[in-house]
Amino acid sequence: MTTFAELGLAPDILRALDEMGYASPTPIQEQVIPLALQGGDILGAAQTGTGKTAAFALPLIQRLLPFANTGTSPAKHPIRALILTPTRELAIQVEESVKAYCKHVPLRSLVVYGGVNINTQIPILKTGVEILVATPGRLLDHVQNKTLMLTQVNTLVLDEADRMLDMGFMPDLKRIVALLPAQRVNMMFSATFPEEIRKLADSILNNPAFIEVARNATAVTITQVMHPVHHERKRQLLAHLIKSRDLNQVLVFTGTKLGCNRLANELNKAGIHADAIHGDKTQQERIKALDAFKAGTIRVLVATDVAARGIDIEALPFVVNYDLPHNAEDYVHRIGRTGRAGAQGEAISLVSESETRYLRDIEKLIGNTLEPVIVPGFEPGAAEVPAYQSRAPRQPERHGERERGAPRGRPAAVRDALFDTPYTPSDAPRPDTAPAALRQAPKKQVAALFRSPVKPDTAGQ
């Protein structure tokens, strides 16, 4: 087994890793670190949970070691590395990791993100930091306020680039990149590679090495279970699973902010201590909920996709898809919260009839079928639908709302529709590890990289 020392990392960095209990590099670290130490551009296909933060942060820190100093003058601590992340939570976690890796070297780091008073960030920026972790919007606020300078940046990292795209940060990214010195090292990580991401990679990266670890590193560490259930009974089923299986530290995903709040309230009423995080919560509220969840004082954290992005809890044991995501890639991101860095985890999906199309998209993407496991007493047809609703016309289920006129008295038909239709993936699993999104014909420079042989991921094997 390769060691971090064999990857060429400096003793002071090795010491920090040792203290953090990192015994050996993960597959992405093994591949990225030697290349990044040489200063080459990197395009990484890796999801959260693979150890990608250390993969980019460790070589970045090592390459800054010649600049490390204990001088007090701000001029001695210009921003030399910029790490952009889509969310505040991820930014915070990345910077926490950077700080820990830098424990024995005099390099300073700082995280800046929106939603909090910008004035609290300015004094620290003024004292000088070498490594800045930022969300794009807040970074531009600082640029506009002239509270930071990017003229000495020699390394740019774009973390979770696909999510930045989803969140509409593309114009901000372009503006930021235009402010950086042309001579720099670039690393970009993304779990998925839609066309726009390939274009972005083409425009930012210079002859990058393409490094991929299987998105379904999930397959080896995460057990995926799917419970078919009538949507009206999801809450009871969830409470039943948590209580009967004595589940703790359960991260539950809902599709809407409203549904998120409601579910947390209902779980609390059912005697299960829960809290919710979503985009309408303040940063302080989110951090408080996350800390309580990490500390185990709350048992269930209900979250929307955006709010949960970047949540990093050591060996999070359970992730529940209360609502299936409409975007199949979010499924991969969600379940990536469990079974991290080699730990075991379980991803539980509660699937109602109206979600079967999302289920199929997910199965197509992961190249696998999720076996339905019916929980006795929660058979999908067994909804307790109030009589007055039974004559209303059928409408598609919407997240956060009850489906009116749900099918009644036709359990067999419901089950048929749900699970008995044979499912044949049109994009059958292939022996290679490339995610489906990568298999489409890519373009230009990055296209060549997608065709080059990649080292198969051996995580957890």
CA 445 to the chain's CA centroid = 27
Residue selected from 30, 43, 53, 380 as contacting ligand AMP according to rule CB under 6 A: 53
**Helix or strand run (H / E) with residue 187:** strand 185-190
The reply on whether position 48 binds ligand AMP by CB under 6 A is yes
The reply on whether position 25 binds ligand AMP by CB under 6 A is yes
Tokens of 173: 């990214």
Handedness of CA 181, 182, 184, 185 (dihedral sign): positive
The reply on whether position 60 binds ligand AMP by CB under 6 A is no
The reply on whether position 109 binds ligand AMP by CB under 6 A is no
If the CB atoms of residues 43 and 263 are measured against ligand AMP, the closer one turns out to be 43
Q: Residue 26's closest CA among 43, 3, 42? A: 3
Count of C-beta atoms within a 10 Å radius of residue 399:
18
CB proximity list for 293: less than 8 A, separation 6 or greater: 249, 251, 275, 301, 313
Rounded to whole angstroms, the Cα distance separating 302 from 268 reads 11
Tokens of 263: 């579910």
Rounded to whole angstroms, the Cα distance separating 55 from 294 reads 24
By CB under 6 A, the count of residues binding ligand AMP is 15
Least distance in angstroms from the C-beta of 32 to ligand AMP: 11
Angle at 354 between CA 349 and CA 355, to 5 degrees: 35
Residue selected from 340, 407, 454, 459 as contacting ligand AMP according to rule CB under 6 A: 340
Site for ligand AMP in 265-324 (CB under 6 A): 312, 314
SS3 call for 127:
helix
Least distance in angstroms from the C-beta of 125 to ligand AMP: 25
Least distance in angstroms from the C-beta of 20 to ligand AMP: 7
The reply on whether position 50 binds ligand AMP by CB under 6 A is yes
If the CB atoms of residues 125 and 307 are measured against ligand AMP, the closer one turns out to be 307
Angle at 154 between CA 149 and CA 157, to 5 degrees: 95
The reply on whether position 1 binds ligand AMP by CB under 6 A is no
If the CB atoms of residues 50 and 261 are measured against ligand AMP, the closer one turns out to be 50
The reply on whether position 59 binds ligand AMP by CB under 6 A is no
If the CB atoms of residues 258 and 287 are measured against ligand AMP, the closer one turns out to be 287
**Residues making contact with ligand AMP (CB under 6 A):** 22, 25-26, 29, 48-54, 312, 314, 340-341
